[in-house]
Amino acid sequence: MPVDLVCNTGPILALGKMGVLEHLPRLGLDIVLPRAVAKELDEGAAAGFPVVRPSWIPVVEHPHNPAFESSLDPGEAAVLDLALTLGVRQVCIDEWRGRRAAHAVGLQVVGSLGLLGRMLRSGIVESIDAPLENALRAGVRYHPDLVERFREAMG
């Protein structure tokens, strides 16, 4: 199975809170979740959180590799492990520690805002304003400088 992107929990939750998660397949990316990320999403859904794991994103088992676990949470560690195991060049992580670790091992990183930007450029969404405001109102935390730079980049 060709894979374009291995995704972590945070971006799935952020895109769900933005109200654009259902549009993600329209980007034409083959996305997978490692089992650890699926578990985090399923546990959140069982606890009553509103964003649930999308059934259309395949869950992939991955070998347990403790190399990243000392500095990353289980989902981020699994994303990096799975991407490296499958030879996938790009991961989707929002948290800075996971992003930094991904860059350190030569992976390209995109986050929830990057995917939202791709949706805008592809004409899938008409504006970033409402999705971004939805996310911020729902408690997604982005650094204000990041939000400003993202808005400027998107015009």
pLDDT in tens, 58-77: 999 877 777 777 789 899 99
User: How far apart are the two ends of the chain, measured CA to CA in Å?
Assistant: 36
The domain over range 5-154 is classified in CATH as 3.40.50.1010: yes
pLDDT in tens, 4-56: 999 999 999 999 999 999 999 999 999 999 999 999 999 998 888 887 789 99
Choose the weakest-confidence range: 45-49, 93-97, 116-120.
45-49
pLDDT in tens, 131-148: 999 999 999 999 999 999
Quick check: 119 and 27 in contact, CB under 8 A?
yes
Where are the domains positioned within the chain? 5-154
DSSP the chain: ---SEEE-HHHHHHHHHHT-GGGGGGG---EEEEHHHHHHHHHHHHTT-S----TTSPEE-----TTTTTTS-HHHHHHHHHHHHHT--EEE--SHHHHHHHHHTT-EEE-HHHHHHHHHHTTSSS-SHHHHHHHHHTT----HHHHHHHHHHH-
